Structure 1
Amino acid sequence: MVRQRSAVVPPEVSATLRLARKEREMSMDRAAKAAQISTSLWTQVENGTQYKRGEKVRASTTAETLQAMAAAVGLDAEPLLRQAGLEPVEVNRAATQAQSGIVDLSGLSEGDLQMVAAYVNGIRAARRG
């Protein structure tokens, strides 16, 4: 069997990603950053449409992107990949994040993120004092 590189995003996948993002009180921009993709790509996949050569067409994506998006909003990617007709791919985002010093805060609500920001600001203030 030949592995598909990309596939059209089914409406059910778009709806599942949108609902999970909203339940976590994440903006599209914050979700895209957590998935390490552009906000434009997040928007296309979540809305299920994109423009090619000036025409509106159904959005397509890769397994890697879909997996990253699912992880960003705390979903299991397997059902989404199945719905899109894609197979999982090996992605080592944790190693990339560990090397860069990035802490994965994806899936946190806006309120939780505000608490983390307050904590970090407290540490910074203590270091200055």
Structure 2
Amino acid sequence: MIAGSFVVRVDALSRTPASEQLRVQVLGAVQRGDLVAGAQLPPVRQLADELHLAPNTVAKVYRELERDEVVVTRGRNGTSIAPTGVGPERQAQLAALEYAGRVRELGIHSARALEIVAEALGEPSA
């Protein structure tokens, strides 16, 4: 459980690394509004224990989410969803991050992934 009733699940049999599964689920929850600005995430060790992951794996995900400005970490005050996680452009950035993770999971080359986006937007690919 992360915040409220939002539950994270990691499939140990998946070809997708556990860290990527966790990152994508948190991003998706922010996009859908399941996790809103200010929602507190569990401490690294607690979430690692709940998901049967190494604490370093959860810490890595938190660092990546912080780098992407999805969460903010305030030392002993913990990690929470960033207040900037709103607005159309921010939503597009989050969608792009989720898409990039899925594309990597599928093994699609980045150039082809960009062509797919251009086609979806109805724009000619470069």
TM category (shorter chain) comes to under 0.3
TM-score by length of 1: 0.27
Which of the pair has the greater relative contact order for Cα pairs under 8 Å at 6+ separation?
1
TM-score by length of 2: 0.28
Bigger radius of gyration, 1 or 2? 1
